[in-house]
Amino acid sequence: MPRETFSPNSSNKPSGFSPITQSGNFLFVSGQVSVNSGGDLVGSTDCYLQAKQCFSNIETVLQSAGATFDDLVKITAFIVKSRDYPDYAKARLEIFPENGPASSTVFISGLVRPEFLIEIEAIAALD
């Protein structure tokens, strides 16, 4: 099945992967970390602020493909410290107060940069 890729910033595309890829009616959002559009880390030691930025990045990436949070069917969070789970859960509940997508959380030993406390990936389905 052919796939199409999207990028919220066509002048600054990442190398080797796509922020979001469509295959059929599904959109696959690459893991998002707590870096803002200027490339700066948000919430250096605060998992709640990092999770909020991850969700903001997911929203931006979804919009580049013509989708919204309402189209999400699955999210997966990768969290470095299990004690940070309540902060992530609080941020998730603010985005999805009711009828949120299916969700998994995995505790891991580290992410690509040591200052990242969380990474969130998502899958959306289009009509």
pLDDT tier at 80, thresholds 50, 70, 90: very high
As a residue count, the chain comes to 127
Question: Parallel, antiparallel, or unpaired for β 20-23 and 3-6?
Answer: antiparallel
CATH 3.30.70.60, applies to 30-125: no
- Secondary structure, 3-state, the chain: CCEEEECCCCCCCCCCCCCEEEECCEEEEEEECCECCCCCECCCCCHHHHHHHHHHHHHHHHHHCCCCHHHEEEEEEEECCHHHHHHHHHHHHHHCCCCCCEEEEEECCCCCCCCCCEEEEEEEECC
Domain boundaries, the chain: 30-125
Q: 6-59 pLDDT, tens per residue? A: 667 665 555 666 788 999 999 999 999 999 988 899 999 999 999 999 999 999
pTM for the whole structure: 0.92
